[in-house]
Amino acid sequence: MKKTVQFFRSMRFGILLLALIALLSVAGTAIPQGREVAWYAQTYQRFHGVILALRLHDVFHSWYFQMLLILLGLNLTLCSLVRIRKLSRAKKAGREVLLRLPAEFVLNEKQHAAIQNGLRAMRCREEACGDSLLYSKNAFGRYGSFVTHLSILLVIVFGAMALYMPKTVDRACLPGESVTMDDGTRIAVRSFRIENEEGRLDFTSELTVTLPDGRESGLREIKVNHPLSFSPWKIYQQTYGTAGAVTVQNLETGMADTFTLTDLVFLSLDGVNGLWYEAVYPDLIRDPSGNVTLITNTAGSYPNPVYQVQTASDGVYTPILAFPGEELQVGTLKFRFEDPVEYPGLRIKYTPGFINALLCGAFLMLTAGFYITFFCQPVQVRLDRDGCAVGGPKPEGMRIRIREWTEETG
C-alpha cells in the first residue's frame, strides 16, 4: 500500500500525466471538436476511423481525458499533503540545525553591533535562545512549493469546472429575429452573410446580446473561430442555412405578408386551396431532353435558387419549380417568390461567472507560489559570542551582506 501511494504521488508519475494531457490537448486543438461524423469522414478520409474510435473528435469529454485529470488531481493532492506535513516539521528542525552550525564569521563588538543593526533594518524576526540571538527572514518562503502545488491543483479543478459545467445549445435565428434564453437573455441577429463582396466564403453574423438587467453588448460581428464574448455568454458562428421567402397577397382585401420558410408548410386561407412549400435549392441542371435535376447542396450562396412547391386547387395538386420574381395565383391568393434568406446557426455557451473568477484566482495564486518559491527564500542567522552563522536553502545572499557589514566596520 505504501509503495502504491508513493507511486501515485511521485514526480515521475505527475510529469507523465502532464505530458499525456498536453499531448491530448494539442490533438484537441488541431482536430476541430464536436462536428458531425460525416464531416470527419469527408475531411479526414484516411484517418477518420481512428479519430472516431479514439474519440479525438470530442477528446475533452472522453473518459480517458477525464481519468487523466482525476489522476493528476490525486497526484497533486498527495504531494500537497506530504509536503505540508514535512513543512510542519521543517521549522523546528531548521532551528535546531542553525544552533548546531559552526560560526562562519568571528566578530568584534562593532561588527556584532553592525550585523545586528543590519538584520533589524531588514526587519528580520528576532528571537533569543540562551546566549544566542536567532534572526529569520522570509520564513513563509518554505511554503512556496506547497502553494505552487496547491494552486496547480486548483487550476485543474476550476479548469475542469469551466470545461464541463457550461451549458451549450445550438439555435438557428433568421436575420431580424431573436432568440430568448432561459434566463431572459435575448440574442438578436441583425444580418448574416455567407460570402463577402468579393465572393469569398465569409460566414459572418452581426448580432446584439441584451442581458436580463438591460445591459447590451452593442452591435458585434462574429465569424468562424471569432466568437462573441459578453458577460457569461459566448456565441459562436456554428453553421448556416438558406430559407425560402414567399409573399402572399389576398386579392380580395389587398393585404400581403411575407413568410420566411425553413420547413414543409401549407400556405392557405381555407385549409384546402393554397401552396405547399417544400424546399428551396441552390440550382438545377436541365439535360437535352428537358429533364430537371435539382442541385441539393452548395459551398456558398445559392447561385440560381429554385423553389420546389405544389399548388392545391380543389383537391388537385400540381408540382411546380419556381424562381425568385415569379408569381402564382391559387383562388384569391397570389404567391410571389422572393430571394432566399440566408441565416446563421449559432452555438450559444453559458459559463457561470464565478467559475472564471475562481480560475483567475487560482492563476494568481500560482503566480504568487512561483514568486515565493524563487524570490522569497527563507534565511536564518545566529549571533552569539563565538561569531555568526548563516542557514537556509540559499544563504549566499545573506553571507554577502554580512561580509559587507563586517568589512565596513573593520
Nearby residues of 321 by Cβ (< 8 Å), 6 or more positions away: 284, 292, 306, 307, 308, 309
pLDDT on residue 251: 94
Q: How far is CA 100 from CA 127, 294, 329, in A?
A: 16, 94, 107
**339 contacts 301 by C-beta, under 8 angstroms:** no
Q: What pLDDT does 106 receive?
A: 85
Tell me, what's the pLDDT at 88?
65
Q: Which three cell numbers stand for residue 244?
A: 425560402
Instruction: Specify the pLDDT at position 160.
Output: 86
One-letter amino acid for residue 189 of the chain = V
Cα 294 versus chain centre, distance: 41
Instruction: State the pLDDT at residue 311.
Output: 96
Q: Which three cell numbers stand for residue 240?
A: 448556416
- Residue boundaries of the structural domains of the chain: 167-241+344-350, 243-338
* Closest by CA position to 378, among listed 142, 147, 144: 142
3-state secondary structure (DSSP) of residue 390: strand
Give me the pLDDT at residue 90, please: 66
From first to last of the 410 residues of the chain, give the pLDDT tens digit: 677 777 888 888 888 998 999 999 898 888 888 777 877 888 888 888 888 888 888 898 899 998 998 898 888 888 877 777 776 666 667 778 888 888 888 888 888 889 999 999 999 999 898 888 999 998 888 888 888 888 988 998 898 888 888 888 999 999 999 999 999 999 999 999 998 888 888 899 999 999 999 999 999 999 988 999 998 999 999 889 999 999 999 999 999 999 999 999 999 999 999 999 999 999 999 888 878 889 988 778 899 999 999 999 988 999 999 999 999 999 999 999 999 999 999 999 998 888 888 999 999 999 999 999 888 888 999 998 878 999 888 888 899 998 888 888 76
pLDDT at position 83, please?
73
- In terms of DSSP bridges, do strands 201-210 and 186-195 run parallel, antiparallel, or are they unpaired? antiparallel
What integer pLDDT is reported at residue 243 of this predicted model? 95
Cβ contact 343:241 at 8 Å: yes
How far is Cα 125 from Cα 140, in angstroms, rounded to an integer? Answer: 12
Question: Is residue 142 within 8 Å of 136, Cβ to Cβ?
Answer: no
Helices 63-100, 11-30: inter-axial angle, 10-degree rounding: 140
Q: Dump strand ranges (E) for 27-185.
A: 125-129, 132-137, 167-172, 178-180
Query: Rounded distance, CA 352 to CA 356, Å?
Result: 8
Record the pTM.
Answer: 0.63
Res 144: pLDDT: 86
Three-state SS at 291? coil
- pLDDT attached to residue 139: 83
Q: How is 129-140 classified by DSSP, letter by letter?
A: ETTEEEEEE-GG
H or E stretch including 155? Answer: helix 144-164
Contact 161, 176 (CB under 8 A): no
